[in-house]
């Protein structure tokens, strides 16, 4: 078994789930997490610039790595490099819908080409020293068979778990989540762990996902961005207490310190600005605070922004 039967898993989010980001989530109850998505070609040709994506803190109990690629030679070389590190699982991305990934026939685009998708995953499975899994999107909103066909090919190559995002490639990250297709995968492959993914950002959406998809394991993605407390909330809804302003501030400050240590101040604050906006979202803060967050470029700027946030006296939990 890779995951506990009621596991809540932090998705691999490109540009977000670095080590400091994961530490924030773990403080709020996250046990299972992934690195950012790692491009096979980048590991093959620019390993020194890419290896920070593989950083694992010593206190991380469970960490998976997710690989993206559509070239089998690059995939093999990347897996061999990943094998030098310590991970609990190696996941292959067949779900990323963004155009720059699609142009390389990787991610969700690769999933549309059955034979090559299976060959690429087979390469991952053949060379990985870690258990192998895959994350994919459904291939049809009505008919489960195209998705089941791909899943069957992945399982036959050794996939020990499959995470199914219940939207098709063209839907990106919004719109209806087609739970019945995820359920069909769950019911068809009882021998592996099936994880449901897509649109979970509240207790109601979480319970609906578990019931409609028949999955006890759920992966959180955009719903946890700026709201790591979602892990705590979904783990124990009846006793959940939203974060105080002090806790909210502390998480942001600690995550920023981790980013500065990892990337240096200039890069860290440039990267952190988008994360600050996620932390502001849905909590009742005004536009002036969002503008201040966008201008943050130093520790003193960060402190000034958070001081202004405290002065508002606003800590709405509408997003909770």
As a whole number of angstroms, the distance between CA 46 and CA 63 comes to: 23
As a whole number of angstroms, the distance between CA 231 and CA 174 comes to: 21
As a whole number of angstroms, the distance between CA 12 and CA 38 comes to: 9
Question: Is 319's pLDDT higher than 50?
Answer: no
As a whole number of angstroms, the distance between CA 182 and CA 135 comes to: 12
Tens-digit pLDDT profile for residues 244-294: 999 999 999 999 999 999 999 999 999 999 999 999 998 989 899 999 999
Torsion of CA 97, 103, 105, 107, to 10 degrees: -20
Question: Is 315's pLDDT higher than 80?
Answer: no
| Residue 318 pLDDT | 41
Q: Which residues pair with 135 in a beta bridge?
A: 93, 163
**Which pLDDT band, with edges at 50, 70 and 90, does 307 fall under?**
very high
Q: What is the CA radius of gyration of the chain?
A: 20
Cβ neighbours of residue 258 under 8 Å, at least 6 residues apart? 19, 20, 23
Mean pLDDT confidence for 148-162: 98
As a whole number of angstroms, the distance between CA 205 and CA 201 comes to: 6
**Average pLDDT across the chain, whole number:** 96
As a whole number of angstroms, the distance between CA 170 and CA 312 comes to: 40
Residue 316 or 164, more confident: 164
Contact 136, 152 (CB under 8 A): no
Report, in this order, helix, strand and coil percent for the chain, each rounded to 5: 50, 15, 35
| Residue 243 pLDDT | 95
């Amino acid at each position: 078994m890779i995951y506990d039967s009621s596991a809540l898993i932090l998705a691999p989010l490109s540009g977000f789930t670095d080590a400091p980001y994961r530490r924030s989530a773990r403080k709020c109850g996250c046990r299972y997490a992934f690195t950012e998505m790692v491009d096979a070609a980048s590991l093959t040709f620019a390993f020194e610039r890419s290896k920070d994506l593989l950083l694992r803190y010593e206190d991380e109990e469970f960490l998976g790595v997710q690989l993206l690629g559509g070239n089998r030679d690059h995939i093999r070389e990347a897996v061999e490099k990943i094998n030098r590190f310590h991970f609990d699982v190696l996941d292959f991305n067949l779900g990323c819908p963004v155009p720059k990934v699609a142009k390389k026939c990787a991610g969700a685009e690769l999933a549309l080409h059955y034979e090559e998708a299976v060959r690429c995953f087979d390469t991952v499975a053949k060379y990985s020293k870690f258990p192998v899994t895959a994350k994919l999107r459904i291939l049809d909103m009505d008919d489960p068979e195209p998705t089941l066909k791909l899943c069957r090919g992945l399982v036959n190559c050794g996939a020990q778990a499959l995470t199914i995002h219940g939207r098709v490639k063209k839907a990106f990250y919004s719109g209806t989540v087609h739970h019945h297709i995820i359920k069909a995968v769950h019911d068809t492959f009882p021998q592996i762990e099936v994880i449901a993914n897509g649109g979970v950002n509240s207790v109601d959406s979480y319970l609906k996902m578990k019931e409609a998809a028949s999955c006890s394991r759920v992966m959180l993605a955009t719903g946890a961005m700026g709201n790591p407390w979602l892990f705590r909330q979904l783990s124990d809804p009846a006793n959940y207490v939203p974060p105080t302003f002090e806790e909210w501030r502390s998480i942001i400050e600690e995550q920023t310190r981790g980013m500065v240590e990892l990337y240096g101040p200039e890069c860290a604050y440039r990267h952190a600005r988008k994360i600050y906006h996620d932390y502001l979202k849905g909590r009742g803060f005004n536009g002036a605070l969002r503008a201040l967050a966008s201008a943050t470029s130093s520790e003193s700027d960060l402190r000034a922004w958070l001081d202004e946030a405290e002065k508002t006296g606003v800590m709405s939990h509408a997003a909770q």
